Structure 1
Amino acid sequence: MMEWWQTLSLLLGSLLILMVLGMPVAFAFLAVNLVGAFVFLGGISGIEQLVINTTGALTSFTLVPIAMFMIMGEVMFRSGIANDVMDALDKWFGRLRGRLAFMAVGGGVLFSTLTGNSMGSIALLGSSLVPEMQKRGYKKPMTLGPILGSAGLAIMIPPSALAVVLGVVAELPIGRLLIAIILPGLLMAVLYALYILGRCTVDPDVAPSFDVEKAPMSERLIATARHILPIGIIVFAVVGFIFLGIATPTEAAASGAVATVLLALFKRRLSIKLFSESLFESSMISVMILLIVAMAIAFTQLLAFTGATYGMMDMVMNLPVSPKMIVLAMVFSIIILGMFMGPLPIMLITLPIFVPVVIEFGFDPLWFAVLFLIAIETGSTSPPLGAGLFVMRAVAPKGTTMANIYSAAVPFLICDFLAIALVFVFPEIVTWPVSLMFD
């Protein structure tokens, strides 16, 4: 009979080795689950039980929002509604110094509410704004940094598919989690905007001012009514319905998807071809995510069945360190992992171990979940191997080096660390909006 730490080391070690060898995440989990169930749970009968439990978890309606959020994002981008939003924002920023950098933050917030996909936001904002910034004489810290930072808001402002995955794996209420991430996400956006304002004030050359034709107030209001207000209605159809207790997260996600399709139809941007392509692409992404989630749920159950989870909890609970320091160590370990791994593998490997410990300490798991999400996004834009950095490299103009991207990311990483510190010290940032919900 193996000790709990031997079992944990064997399962996690095998999983990491398979990933390092290049095996897709879902199949790495599948291989470890099958072998682990056969060895530790009694052969074929153990595998059968694991399959039954996993099937039950995967057929839960709590996973439906993932597919709905994917449809929303695909229709938004393919119909050009996202570009309309950028045009409307442009009219409001006018001649403000650093206006394109502020547009990156504003666009990041709005696209986050539409897609929940940080890599997609980096690709879109990077390809559309960076060339214009360079043409206007912006220096690289103010062309690349704001986009890297603000695109990371995609998982911090609902609808967020990754937040749904976290809620399912950690067994947290999805609706409460989607509401809990709103204020921290907006806090991060404000920190980015304050940095841009301060940097442009201290060093005006980093974002030279340039003349643009000032849009009349009537034109700005019309653009807002036509392009931004409808987005607000879609967001309300998701977040507002959850907050007011009108709909469950699954129902709210469906209403958001319907509202998005109706908006594209109203703008005469929705063709049969566009709709079918959106459904096909969103289905492919959803199936990939759901397969990974299924394997992660099975892995979580395997750890619990073998006693590895409870052994880890007992060890951590007896450490001569304050509980908050242990939680802080967890958060920083996620950031470090984020430099080398994608968000999903980090989430699926660490949550089964971290969440039971947090609950055992008596902390609010929603508070930890928000810290977890900020840490994951911070890691994805952290040197040397954060995935967001390489997406930016792919869409940045010729001549942009990884050194340029690294240095541009640092100030916004500092803003992320400040956001983590504020949420860590003031849990009310997370718990207060949740307490106002109409359950």
Structure 2
Amino acid sequence: MNDFAITALLITALFLILASGVWIGLTLSGVAWIGMQLFSSRPAGDAMAVTIWGSASSWTLTALPLFIWMGEILFRTRLSHDMFRGLAPWMQRLPGRLLHTNVVGCAIFAAVSGSSAATCATIGKMSLPELRKRGYPETMSVGSLAGAGTLGLLIPPSIIMIVYGVTADVSIAQLFIAGVLPGVLLALIFSGYIALWSLRHPALIPPPDAPLTLAQKLAESRHLIPVLLLIGAVLGSIYAGVATATEAAGLGVVGALTISAAQGSLTWATFTQSLMGGTRLYCMIALILAGASFLTLSMGYIGLPRHLAEWIATLGLTQGQLIVALSAFYVLLGCFLDGISMVVLTMGVIMPTVQKAGIDPLWFGIFIVIVVEMAQVTPPVGFNLFVLQGMTRREIGFIARAAFPFFLLMVLMVALLWVFPQIATFLPQQMRA
């Protein structure tokens, strides 16, 4: 059986098992077992045991549950309520006014969460009722939140960066630092679009609230100080080289518990809820990673990644053409799979091709994160669309249309990243120096 037939068989098996309702992690393990059993001489059971244990016992992966728990702790504090009060006074003079609280709020929470869905839900819980009460257009309120919520994947600490770093064998600390400038730039692009839209539609923007003095603005913003200090401690310890990603994650958990206790919202109930919520999410991700590791091993024994890389090399694609093809591939894949599944499912096959084309794996990691961000707002399986549907009770089609301009802005961000790769590589180079 040739490579095309084997690939078609395994892809068919993948979607059939997924369609039957089996968990993604178990589906990946099942497809890997089929591939090894039918097309390899190595015993599938022995390979499965060794691979799953190896992926589960990875020290690098320890940062993942800690960052997830940190985000869960802050998700259950008064941060979402205090954030709007702290940000709103500073947005009144900008074109678009309080619509910018979606972008700035998501950027701040992304730096302590690492999850797109958690960022979207937390800031949405804060901003949507306030924006609706003040009469802001729902299309822009929902669309800007759907787009800005994806910053949870790009601004470190990012769950998907940890997953990519583990699967592609790239330094997680370097990935975190590489995500800072692209994350800030994308947030500025979102805010710039909101400002331009508001200047074109001034009648749709409500009048500003009563002006506050500088002292009053600072007083309203005092609740943001602990969170900003936590962000500085986590990212600063990594950037200064005094802590690994795992150690910084531990520092973040301690800081989050401290903030929660200082706010008076750290009770035994919120502690156990955050711990169990983080455990459930990590177990889901760990199962997917274990299945993906076994699938990667299986594909390696069959030889598909090598053959695919060789086939793509024969097409004579330039680096730019390859990036365009991969962008379209991941956006299409994002219509059916969540971001983590997309990364772990494809890295074993894609990375040899990327390395053969001479693309920097660190730069490619940031590219992948942005493309996965785009998939968060594409129906039918855009996670941010689901989150907002539950919060607004509007149909997916309305939310997808509202988010579409921000999808196009992320396409622009990919183009800028390709033309100016230093956006992703500058800070890591300074860190190495």
TM-score band by shorter chain is: over 0.9
Once the 2 structures are TM-superposed, how far is the Cα of residue 129 of structure 1 from its aligned partner? 2.2
Match of 2:264 in 1: 268
Match of 2:100 in 1: 102
Match of 1:5 in 2: 4
Letter in 2 for 1:187: L
Instruction: Write out per-residue CA displacement over residues 215-239 of structure 1, whole angstroms, 9 at most, x where no aligned residue.
Output: 3322322343x32222222112221
Instruction: Write out per-residue CA displacement over residues 168-223 of structure 1, whole angstroms, 9 at most, x where no aligned residue.
Output: 1112111111111111111110001001111111111232224x233332232234
Q: More deviation in 418-427 or 2-11?
A: 2-11
Instruction: Give the direction of change, closer, same or farther, for the CA distance of 1:264–1:422 in structure 2 (3 Å limit).
Output: same
SS of structure 1 residue aligned to 2:150 = helix
Once the 2 structures are TM-superposed, how far is the Cα of residue 42 of structure 1 from its aligned partner? 3.3
SS of structure 2 residue aligned to 1:424 = helix
Q: Which runs of 5+ in 2 are unaligned?
A: none
How is 1:167-206 mapped onto 2 (pairs within 5 angstroms)? 167-206=165-204
Instruction: Write out per-residue CA displacement over residues 245-270 of structure 1, whole angstroms, 9 at most, x where no aligned residue.
Output: 11111111111111111222233321
Does the aligned pair in 2 maintain the 1:63–1:164 contact within 8 Å? yes
Which of 361, 364, 370 lines up with 1:368 in the alignment?
Answer: 364
Q: Does 1:222 align with 2:216?
A: no
SS of structure 2 residue aligned to 1:392 = helix
Instruction: Give the direction of change, closer, same or farther, for the CA distance of 1:322–1:97 in structure 2 (3 Å limit).
Output: closer
Match of 2:322 in 1: 326
Letter in 1 for 2:217: R
Does the aligned pair in 1 maintain the 2:146–2:388 contact within 8 Å? yes
Instruction: Write out per-residue CA displacement over residues 246-300 of structure 1, whole angstroms, 9 at most, x where no aligned residue.
Output: 1111111111111111222233321222212211111111111111111111111
Does the aligned pair in 2 maintain the 1:7–1:306 contact within 8 Å? no
SS of structure 2 residue aligned to 1:318 = helix
Q: Does 1:432 align with 2:426?
A: yes
Letter in 2 for 1:59: S
Match of 2:343 in 1: 347
CA–CA distance in 2 between the matches of 1:323 and 1:142? 36
SS of structure 1 residue aligned to 2:48 = helix
Instruction: Give the direction of change, closer, same or farther, for the CA distance of 1:169–1:87 in structure 2 (3 Å limit).
Output: same
Instruction: Give the direction of change, closer, same or farther, for the CA distance of 1:285–1:406 in structure 2 (3 Å limit).
Output: closer
Once the 2 structures are TM-superposed, how far is the Cα of residue 384 of structure 1 from its aligned partner? 5.1
Q: Does 1:242 align with 2:238?
A: yes
Does the aligned pair in 1 maintain the 2:36–2:302 contact within 8 Å? no
Does the aligned pair in 2 maintain the 1:327–1:358 contact within 8 Å? no
Match of 1:422 in 2: 416
Instruction: Write out per-residue CA displacement over residues 122-161 of structure 1, whole angstroms, 9 at most, x where no aligned residue.
Output: 2233343223323322223321111011001000001111
CA–CA distance in 1 between the matches of 2:52 and 2:302? 16
Letter in 2 for 1:75: I
Once the 2 structures are TM-superposed, how far is the Cα of residue 380 of structure 1 from its aligned partner? 1.6
Does the aligned pair in 2 maintain the 1:66–1:161 contact within 8 Å? yes
Normalization by structure 2: what TM-score? 0.94
Instruction: Give the direction of change, closer, same or farther, for the CA distance of 1:131–1:273 in structure 2 (3 Å limit).
Output: closer
Does the aligned pair in 1 maintain the 2:84–2:126 contact within 8 Å? no
Match of 1:356 in 2: 352
CA–CA distance in 2 between the matches of 1:349 and 1:12? 11
CA–CA distance in 1 between the matches of 2:78 and 2:432? 35
Which of 81, 84, 87 lines up with 1:86 in the alignment?
Answer: 84
Q: Does 1:139 align with 2:137?
A: yes
Instruction: Give the direction of change, closer, same or farther, for the CA distance of 1:343–1:148 in structure 2 (3 Å limit).
Output: same
Instruction: Give the direction of change, closer, same or farther, for the CA distance of 1:86–1:140 in structure 2 (3 Å limit).
Output: closer
Instruction: Write out per-residue CA displacement over residues 294-333 of structure 1, whole angstroms, 9 at most, x where no aligned residue.
Output: 1111111111111111111111111132232112211221
CA–CA distance in 1 between the matches of 2:138 and 2:336? 24
Number of aligned pairs?
433
Does the aligned pair in 1 maintain the 2:146–2:377 contact within 8 Å? yes
User: C-alpha root-mean-square deviation of aligned residues, in Å?
Assistant: 1.9
Match of 2:117 in 1: 119
Q: Does 1:293 align with 2:289?
A: yes
CA–CA distance in 1 between the matches of 2:47 and 2:381? 38
Instruction: Give the direction of change, closer, same or farther, for the CA distance of 1:207–1:142 in structure 2 (3 Å limit).
Output: farther
Once the 2 structures are TM-superposed, how far is the Cα of residue 362 of structure 1 from its aligned partner? 1.1
CA–CA distance in 2 between the matches of 1:57 and 1:123? 30
CA–CA distance in 2 between the matches of 1:276 and 1:394? 24
Does the aligned pair in 2 maintain the 1:65–1:161 contact within 8 Å? no
Letter in 2 for 1:237: A
SS of structure 2 residue aligned to 1:382 = coil
CA–CA distance in 2 between the matches of 1:359 and 1:320? 15
Does the aligned pair in 1 maintain the 2:81–2:126 contact within 8 Å? no
Once the 2 structures are TM-superposed, how far is the Cα of residue 86 of structure 1 from its aligned partner? 2.5
Runs of 4+ aligned residues of structure 1 deviating over 6 Å after TM superposition are none
CA–CA distance in 1 between the matches of 2:28 and 2:380? 26
SS of structure 2 residue aligned to 1:208 = coil
Once the 2 structures are TM-superposed, how far is the Cα of residue 118 of structure 1 from its aligned partner? 1.4
Instruction: Write out per-residue CA displacement over residues 348-406 of structure 1, whole angstroms, 9 at most, x where no aligned residue.
Output: 2222111111111111011111111111111220245523223212211x5x4444323
CA–CA distance in 1 between the matches of 2:23 and 2:58? 24
Normalization by structure 1: what TM-score? 0.93
